Amino acid sequence: MRVNNNLTIAQLIRQAREDRGLSQSQLAKELATISGRHTINRDLISHWERGAQVPRFDTRQWLSVFFDIPPEHFEAAAMSARRRMKTGNAVVARNPPAKPGPVRRAQGTPELLPVLRSRVQAGILAAVLLNPDRWFSLSELSETVGAALASVDKEVQLLETAGIVSGRTEGTMRLHHASNLGPGLAPLVELLRLTYGVPQVIGEEFGWVRGVGRLVLGGSWAARFAGVPGPAPESLELAVIPQSGRCVDRDALRLAAHRSELRLKRPVRWQLRDVEDTKTVAVPRQWEKLPIVEVRLVRRAEPAYREGASAVGQDPISLLLESGQLSMTNGPDAQAEPALELAEEHLVAAERIAEDAPQAAHVLLAEAGELIANGLLAQQGLRVHPAAHPHTAGAAVTEQFGFQFSHVVLLRERSTALHLRLNRVSAEEARVSTATVRALLTEARARVAELSLFEPAV
């Protein structure tokens, strides 16, 4: 196909599709197949061809592969389309105007982490990299970061091009999440947790304490967060404001502070404010002329701290935390059921195919075992670090709950070896392994009711 360099991306896609004799539905089906993205449908193709939306960078790569057109033609066409959008020639603008309000606070130099380009970029990276299981819309990122939609969209596109963030289309909405949290990004994740991740960690750890109404960060950290130049904060200053008429358990606050200190690697100096009216931010007098940051509380469905709950396998877990193999989490992530439900789905699928496809069944069983281990850790507010050894989850739950959980490691090792031609799984082995994983899942569900947040040794 001869390509006119003056075409927009909409015209280029339409011309290439018509040259192939494909309908929009047929193109959507073919493109979804080669890219592995079920969200590509006829409506999305129609959006592209009407100029209502420019395909993302990775999607343009797949279009180049499918139509056998050099990728530089798609990049030139995308730039042409964006120029027309800016001058009002596009059918629909990519983003609505940002609402007025406190969105400008995220602009400027990221004083907490000056190696980054802007506080918008820092906020987006903190949101997606510290919540690897969550998908964000542009509106959610805009609200989380406190920046205009146009600024957020620009940063997200740059991060997608770099391969740090990936996206998918769901209906008319574009969703984004961390595309890869392997060893290469682990240092960046840690830096973000210690800087722009402070509100999330504080909100998770203190949010589950009964009676807490509001949390306010002040001092030097809040000043750096607001963009005020100065030295890096050595500690975190936190005001805990109770709900009206409620008492707050100071022991639970101490545990929350201790877990926060280990996660953030600096002291958390908290004050419990004795106030009745929580409609105003009651902060220490020395903060009155300084920036403050109000923290969003992350509530759990059930109390995470159970009186008298025993911490099993504490020393091995503490060692894994100290070595960086495990990290602490809280909030919505600190629950076992999502992982155990997915393990159940894998297990049911493996049971169905164990006779006819024992190799595939064994891969599903190994993944189910890993999910069981991760679920037990999550219930305790623990998560395997992205750069950790592959057997970390299995080794941790074996130390905590008994030798039967060593099957998690054994299943993973067996599954990893299946890429070698001589290693094969028989139908009988698959059936036995299925029963083993079923027993592990039953045991894990019984254990979950007894588990509380892991309490590190003081």
Give ∠ CA 300-304-306 in degrees, rounded to 5: 145
Specify the amino acid at residue 244. S
Inter-helix orientation angle 427-448/358-379, to 10°: 10
pLDDT tens digits for 387-414? 788 889 999 999 889 888 988 998 888 8
Instruction: Count Cα atoms within 13 angstroms, Cβ side, for 31.
Output: 26
How is the chain split among helix, strand and coil, in percent rounded to 5? 50, 10, 40
Which domains does the chain possess? 9-86 (1.10.260.40), 114-191 (1.10.10.10), 197-295 (3.30.70), 314-448 (1.20.120.330)
Measured CA to CA in angstroms, residue 291 lies from 150, 222, 223, 324, 338 at distances of: 26, 6, 5, 33, 38
Looking at residue 140, the DSSP 8-state letter turns out to be H
pLDDT tens digits for 9-58? 888 898 888 888 898 888 988 888 887 776 788 888 887 888 777 888 87
Range with top average pLDDT, 3-7, 95-99, 348-352: 348-352
DSSP 314-374: HHHHHHHHHTTSEEE--GGGS-SHHHHHHHHHHHHHHHHHTTT-HHHHHHHHHHHHHHHHH
Q: What is the mean pLDDT of residues 119-143?
A: 87
Would you state the structure tokens that stand for residue 41, as one six-digit string? 């449908």
d(CA 321, CA 300): 23
Partners of 174 in beta bridges: 169
d(CA 206, CA 299): 9
pLDDT at position 314: 60
pLDDT at position 417: 78
pLDDT tens digits for 371-383? 999 999 999 999 9
- Residue showing tokens 């999440």: 177
Measured CA to CA in angstroms, residue 292 lies from 220, 237, 344, 404 at distances of: 10, 10, 45, 50
Which H/E stretch holds residue 34? helix 24-35
395 contacts: CB under 8 Å, gap ≥ 6: 389, 409
